Amino acid sequence: MGLFSRERPEPVQLGDVTLHCEICKGTEFWTRDAQLNTAVASFFSLEWTNPTASCFICSQCGYIHWFLPLD
């Protein structure tokens, strides 16, 4: 039961922008939702929202791009 088994990386569209990796300029990513732990949530003063971040993991270099939900 590997983390990325039976799954292909895919391009990610953020609104009008296609996500490119900050490091290697790759365009295919695995997608994960990550529950922020208390320490991280406190750092961002988000304790009360129980936030979930969207994570896009570059299939070429493994760099994790993650985004907080902005309402």
Residues that bind Zn ion (CB under 5 A): 21, 23-24, 26, 58, 60-61, 63
Q: What is the closest distance, in whole angstroms, from the C-beta atom of residue 55 to Zn ion in the complex?
A: 13
Q: How many residues does the chain have?
A: 71
Q: Which is nearer to Zn ion, 24 or 34 (CB)?
A: 24
Q: Which is nearer to Zn ion, 4 or 44 (CB)?
A: 4
Report residue 21: phi and psi, to 5°. Answer: -60, 135
Q: Residue 10 has which token pair?
A: 């895919």
3-state secondary structure of 48: helix
Q: Which is nearer to Zn ion, 28 or 51 (CB)?
A: 28
Q: How far from 69 is each of 11, 13, 22, CA to CA, in Å?
A: 19, 15, 20
